[in-house]
Amino acid sequence: MSAAPDQKNERVLLEGADITRAVTRIAHELLESNKGADDLVLLGIPTRGVPIAKRLAAKLAEVEGRTVPTGSLDVTMYRDDLRRHPTRALLPTELPAGGIDDKVVVLVDDVLYSGRTIRAALDALNDLGRPRAVRLAVLVDRGHRELPIRADHVGKNLPTSSAERVSVLLAELDGRDAVLITAGAA
């Protein structure tokens, strides 16, 4: 959920160091809850979930001393709200060489809001294989769920108004790291 925010109504909620700390904390939580990195597969949801997944994988490798398979999962065609949003280009779904069968798949996204993106991701996973377990890691949980979905690992809980917009900026895509909130722009 990112776009160029209106500068007069925006507030910076997290900066680069805050995002780094959140990713580090999520990495340690993943290792603790999984009892290590065995059978973990990280799948980032485009657009900003992919670089966050890569950052998580780098932190996991730093701690565990080995790489964790990482890929991407485009959920566009599984969304139930396609008619309500502008058309966007499909992005690649890239699974690691070992696949996802009998693995602990961690879906990684930037912002958890209504839960519809994650519902679509679960549907997409069903077409790709049968993971042993699926977990959810998000940088920001802003509330306002429309579906009974909860993140297992959250970088920052940000209670928001539904009239506000949360924007995640990442250096890989936007030239800087920040989480911004823009008032009055749902």
**118 in the Ramachandran plot: left (φ > 0), alpha (ψ -120 to 50) or beta?**
alpha
pLDDT band at residue 5 using 50, 70 and 90 as cut-offs: very low
Confidence check: pLDDT of 8 > 70: no
Q: How far apart are the C-alpha atoms of 109 and 124, rounded to whole Å? A: 15
Domain limits, the chain:
18-83+90-159
Q: Each residue of 143-177: pLDDT tens digit?
A: 999 999 999 999 999 999 999 999 999 999 999 99
Q: Is CATH 3.40.1350.10 what the domain over 18-83+90-159 is classified as, yes or no?
A: no
Q: What is the pTM of this model?
A: 0.91
> Which tens digits make up the pLDDT trace of 49-97?
999 999 999 999 999 999 999 999 999 989 887 667 666 678 889 999 9
The b/e string for 3-19 (b: 16+ C-beta within 10 A; e otherwise) is eebeeeebeebbeeebb
In whole numbers, what is the pLDDT of the chain averaged over residues?
A: 92
* Percentage of the chain lying above the pLDDT 90 cut: 84
